[in-house]
Structure 1
Amino acid sequence: MTTIHGVELTTTAATTFGNVLTAMVTPFDQCDRVDLPAAERLAAWLTRDGWNDGIVVNGTTGESIATSDHEKSKMVGAARRAVAGSGKRVIAGVGAGDTRHSIRLAQAAEQWGADGLLLVAPYYSRPSQRGLLRHFLAVADSTSLPVMLYDIPQRAGVAIEPETFAAAAKHPSIVAVKDAKGDLESSSWVMRETALEYYSGDDALNLPLLAIGAVGFVSVVGHVVGDKLAELFHLYSQGRVDQALAVHRELLPVYRGMFRAPAAASVKAALAALGMPAGSLRTPLAELTAEEHTALLADLAGLTNAAAAGAGVSQPA
């Protein structure tokens, strides 16, 4: 039995993807190429015992808008090699602005060894709910992999309505939701009317979403406090709600710090402070300013000791 911070990580109800997942950044080398050895090292580090049950590659935090289809496939392969034999999952983001492109990404992800797909609502075109459903079903039909739908209207430009979730849930491959809508009432209705596994996609709402039936997290802050997220989840699952609430409140500065700037920029700065590979950002994203960097490290102070120890470096001042 694995123990983290004195909390036993007890067996919970079976889920398709596990309980604690991190949406991983895409490391770049000094020549702005995807750094596959760094990606393998980071994926292995994030999925060590007591941390994440799996990772999501090629999502928003992975700068998917700025990587080619070939680079995305290579990232899936690197993540697969990193977790081989561990039982940890690799979920591939296959979001695109059109259905045919998402299908190509989904089929490539399956060929390169993904365990599942993260499918965001098509962005920019703002399709109708009927169009969304057609898109989701077409991608789900294109591979044998289980699909997690991603509801993030502030980025996609369109929300997935409860009725659309209910219709999509009839497809045997559509099994889960990454919820970053920030509408607990809507999420509650979907959880009441379907068997879809709900994951918090907004770290500040991790605990509230557990309270209404979520099964876990697809996190950004899991890059640096994956152990604390595991602790929070298992405390809540064991009915130790007051202790879970204490962890939630302890993590509030981390949530604030990691989302003050675009998440990929904050994560890469935090990983660099821990001596872990991440590299630069691709434009239009920009590195943190000196002031933002100082503020981020202040928010992370005292909560990344386990991360620093796991990386084999001293805690940054």
Structure 2
Amino acid sequence: MSDFSGIWIPLITPFADGAVDHAALRALVRRYADAGVAGLVALGTTGEPAMLDAAEQDAVLATILDAAQATAGTARTADAPQRHALPVLVGVSGNHTASMRARIEQLNALPLAGLLIAAPYYIRPAQEGIVAHFSALADASAHPVVLYDIPQRTGVRLEPGTLLTLAAHPRIRAIKDCAGSLDTTLALIRDGRLQVLAGDDLAIFNTLCAGGSGAIAASAHWRPERFVALYRALAEGRLAEGRRIFHALVPQIQLAFAEPNPAPVKALLAAEGWIRNELRMPMTRASAALTGQLVALVERA
């Protein structure tokens, strides 16, 4: 069964002249495997899936899975153990339960670590409808399900009682926690049935210190080794070291979300030469002012 701990990267989708840049995507997968991240998220919010057609989504997922499989069997150093293929979560979004079930059934044959699923967006169903929705999707899935609680995007919050009810489903195993409620975060950690992954990057330190299992962190696209070091320090009880690492990462995290995601992250990666600084409408590149700050951040590193 999948373990949803450590630092996970919600991969961007690189573009070149308007098309998906699969070579750059493969290079990023290798980069993050070498950095020691725990896993990857394909077609999450940061990956701009709403701007990809169905064929492009399938192609992006196929590239990520193939590149992640290629990371198996190699070690970062001579003394390091042989590593397994980097696990991959895939985002499944929508607000029509039957269509999402059909998509999940298509994904069942793939070697996935799990599915990342948010509440139905825009329609704002009752909590009873949310429970029925997630339960139906988890029933249809051959893979573990990670709940994605992000009310600022979906328009509806997953209430604590709803989450605790869903935690009883045998395939619902974790949550990407973006609700901004400390009470909910602590309730889930204390309950212990769901692994709690910080989804708000500024909450990583607090979540890990409280007993959370890790983070799905868009800002970790740049200097991923430092985020891995943060996780390891706190997991091993080295609080002072973890605090120092986190405080040094705060400016990077703040800049990464100063404008709509993933524009700042793409600007950072472009400044280092990993990708072209391209997004698809209606998303736009980071402003000139923010780009200047991000380039300066890279140059100081």
- Using the size of structure 2 for normalisation, the TM-score is 0.91
Deviations 1:27-78 (A, max 9, x none): 1221x22222322222221221x43111101111111221122222222111
Aligned partners of 2:299 and 2:261: how far apart in 1?
18
Which runs of structure 2 are paired with 1:141-160 in the superposition (5 Å)?
141-160=139-158
- Does the CA contact (< 8 Å) of 1:265 and 1:281 recur in 2? yes
Matching residue of 2:121 = 123
Matching residue of 2:54 = 69
- Does the CA contact (< 8 Å) of 1:77 and 1:113 recur in 2? no
Q: 2:288 aligns with which of 287, 290, 296?
A: 290
Matching residue of 1:23 = 10
Deviations 1:186-230 (A, max 9, x none): 111122234100000011110001122210010011111211111
Aligned partners of 1:184 and 1:172: how far apart in 2?
25
Q: 2:21 aligns with which of 28, 35, 41?
A: 35
Aligned partners of 1:75 and 1:119: how far apart in 2?
18
Aligned partners of 1:100 and 1:36: how far apart in 2?
31
Confirm or deny that 1:87 pairs with 2:85. Answer: yes
Give the secondary-structure state (helix, strand or coil) at the position aligned to 1:101: helix
- Using the size of structure 1 for normalisation, the TM-score is 0.86
Give the drift of 1:278: 4.9
Matching residue of 2:81 = none
Q: 1:257 aligns with which of 255, 258, 261?
A: 255
Matching residue of 2:32 = 46
Aligned partners of 1:34 and 1:104: how far apart in 2?
25
Give the drift of 1:301: 4.7
Matching residue of 2:233 = 235
Matching residue of 1:7 = none
- Does the CA contact (< 8 Å) of 1:253 and 1:300 recur in 2? no
Distance change in 2, residues 1:286/1:178 (3 Å): same
Instruction: Give unpaired runs (5+ residues) of structure 2.
Output: 73-83
Aligned partners of 2:108 and 2:268: how far apart in 1?
31
**How many residues align structurally?**
288
Give the secondary-structure state (helix, strand or coil) at the position aligned to 2:211: coil
Distance change in 2, residues 1:278/1:179 (3 Å): farther
Deviations 1:285-308 (A, max 9, x none): 1112221200222345544xxxxx
Confirm or deny that 1:162 pairs with 2:148. Answer: no
- Does the CA contact (< 8 Å) of 1:19 and 1:217 recur in 2? yes
Distance change in 2, residues 1:222/1:105 (3 Å): farther
Instruction: Give unpaired runs (5+ residues) of structure 1.
Output: 1-13, 304-317
Matching residue of 1:315 = none
- Does the CA contact (< 8 Å) of 1:169 and 1:195 recur in 2? yes
Give the drift of 1:129: 0.7
Matching residue of 1:184 = 182
What letter is aligned with 2:118?
Answer: V
Give the drift of 1:115: 2.1
Aligned partners of 2:103 and 2:60: how far apart in 1?
12
Aligned partners of 1:302 and 1:43: how far apart in 2?
25
Matching residue of 1:213 = 211
Aligned partners of 1:251 and 1:183: how far apart in 2?
22
